[in-house]
Structure 1
Amino acid sequence: MPKIAAGLLVSALSFALMPAARADGVAFWGYWQAKGDKWAFATTGPAQARPKDGAVEGWRFAKSSGNTGTPPRDKPDFAAICGPGSAPAGKKRVAVVVDFGEPADAPKDQHPQATTRTCATVADNATGTDVLATAGLLTQADKSGLICAINAFGPCGRAESVTLHATASPAAGKKDKGGSGAPVGLYVGVGLVVIVAAGGGIVALRRSRR
C-alpha cells in the first residue's frame, strides 16, 4: 500500500476508535457546527472543515454523552453574534461560540470562563482552525494532536505551553464574553473510515498548527 494511503488509513482508524477511548463521564473539548438552529457534531476536524460565510462554529467543554459529547448551550444564531452587514470581497464572516462548560465538569483546580461569542472575518478558504484563531483564542493540543485546552482551560491547560496563538484584530468582529458557558470532539465511526479510505480524504481531529 502506498505510504500516503497507509497514513490516511492509520489516521482514519485512530479517529474512528476515539469514541471507545472517551468513556461517558470524561470531559473534553468537542467541535460543533450549526445545522439550521441546532448544533450538529462535526464530522471532520477543524483543520479540514471550511465553514461558509454565515456559518456558526461551536466548541464546548463537557462530559461525553454517547459518542458525540454535549453541544454548546447557546443556540447557533449568526445574526445575533455578527449582526447585519457583509464580509469584504475575498472574505467571509463566521460566528464562533466557545462554551467552557459547567463547574462540575471542570478539571481539578480550574474554573470555567464565561462563554465567548465572536464574529470572525477570515479569508474565503479559511478552515475551522483559522476561524478559532482569528477569534483570539489560545489552544493547546495533546500528543495526538487533539485540542485539549482553550485559553488554558482543559485537562492539558498550561498557560506557558500554547501551540496556537492568534489575536483577533478589530476586523475580526465582535466578541461577547457574557452569558452562559460551554469540546475537539469525537467523530464517528468505522463507517467513516471506509468513506475516508475510499475518497482519499483526511478525517482526523488533528491540528494543522502546532
Structure 2
Amino acid sequence: MIRRVTVLFLAALLPLLAGAGQAQAAGYRYWSFWERDGSAWTYATVGPSLARPADGDVQGFRFSVSEDSGDAAKPRGTADFDAVCAKTPAKDGTKRVALVIDFGTPADAPSGEQPPAGRTACARVAEDATTAEALASVAKPLRYDSNALLCAITGYPAKGCGEQIAVDGKDSVSSTEAEESSARDEGGSGPSVGLIAGAAAVLLLGAAAVWQVRRRA
C-alpha cells in the first residue's frame, strides 16, 4: 500500500516539474532583417538604420515569432534584383536596393490582426542612404520604439514591438514587462513561486498519505 501511495504521489508531482521547464520556453514577435548573399538569406549583423547597402543589393524583412536569430524565419517570395527592380531604371547619383517584405503568417500575427500579402519594392535612394531610409521610401508608415527597434512596416502590426510570448503563441507580454519580471525573479530561470507552492502542497499530501497508511498498519 505504501508503494502504491508513493507511485501516485510521484505521478502528481511530475507534471508540475515538467511544467517548470515548459514555462520558461518563450519567443519574440518581431521584424527580422536579412541580407541576400548570392542565392541565400543571411541574418543581418547590424540594424537597418546602420546598414548601407550598395547598388544592386537585395535585402529582406520578415515578421514572425522566433526564439533567436538561429531559428528566425526567412523572407519568402521573389528575391532577384533584376526582377524586383526591372521597372526602376538606374540614375546618376542614386542607387537601387531591392526589398522583400514578408508580413508573416496568421499564426505569427498579433491577436485580432491579419498579415498583409507579402510584397517587393525597388527603392531608388541616395548613394549613402541606409536600409532604413530605403525602406521608408517605399513602405511607409514605419514605426520604431525608443531603442530604434523596427516595430511596424506599412503600419503592420498596429501595436506592439518585440513582445515576448509563450511558444504556443497564446500568452504574451511586452518586452518591457518581460524585463521587469526577469528583474524581480532572483533565480532568473528557476520555477515560479506558484509552481514551488504547488509542489510543496503535493509533497505534504504525499507525506500525510504515507503516515496514514503506516498508522493503520
Aligned partners of 2:53 and 2:131 also within 8 Å: yes
Task: State the distance in 1 between where 2:111 and 2:133 align.
Answer: 29
Partner of 1:154: 157
Q: C-alpha root-mean-square deviation of aligned residues, in Å? A: 2.1
One-letter amino acid of the structure 1 residue matched with residue 54 of structure 2: K
Partner of 2:38: 36
Task: State the distance in 1 between where 2:41 and 2:52 align.
Answer: 16
**Candidates 51, 66, 69, aligned match of 1:67:** 69
Q: Give ranges in structure 1 of 5+ residues lacking alignment.
A: 1-22, 159-210
Query: Percent identity at matched positions?
Result: 42
Partner SS, residue 91 of structure 2: coil
Partner of 2:118: 115
**Candidates 92, 97, 101, aligned match of 2:100:** 97
Partner SS, residue 61 of structure 2: strand
Dislocated runs of 4+, deviation >6 Å: none
Change (3 A) 1:28 1:85: closer
Partner of 1:141: 144
TM-score (norm: length of structure 1): 0.59
**Candidates 128, 131, 134, aligned match of 2:134:** 131
Per the TM alignment, residue 64 of structure 1 is displaced from its structure 2 partner at its CA by 1.2
Partner SS, residue 26 of structure 1: strand
Residue 48 (str. 1) matches residue 50 (str. 2): yes
Task: State the distance in 2 between where 1:75 and 1:136 align.
Answer: 17
Task: State the distance in 2 between where 1:157 and 1:115 align.
Answer: 20
Per the TM alignment, residue 153 of structure 1 is displaced from its structure 2 partner at its CA by 1.5
One-letter amino acid of the structure 1 residue matched with residue 137 of structure 2: T
Per the TM alignment, residue 149 of structure 1 is displaced from its structure 2 partner at its CA by 1.4
Deviation per residue, 1:28-56 (Å, 9 max, x gap): 10011110111111101111111010011
Q: Relative contact order: is structure 1 or structure 2 higher (C-alpha 8 Å, sep ≥ 6)? A: 1
Per the TM alignment, residue 76 of structure 1 is displaced from its structure 2 partner at its CA by 2.0
Partner of 1:182: none
Deviation per residue, 1:56-108 (Å, 9 max, x gap): 11001011154342110125211111117741111111111110000010001
Task: State the distance in 1 between where 2:124 and 2:75 align.
Answer: 21
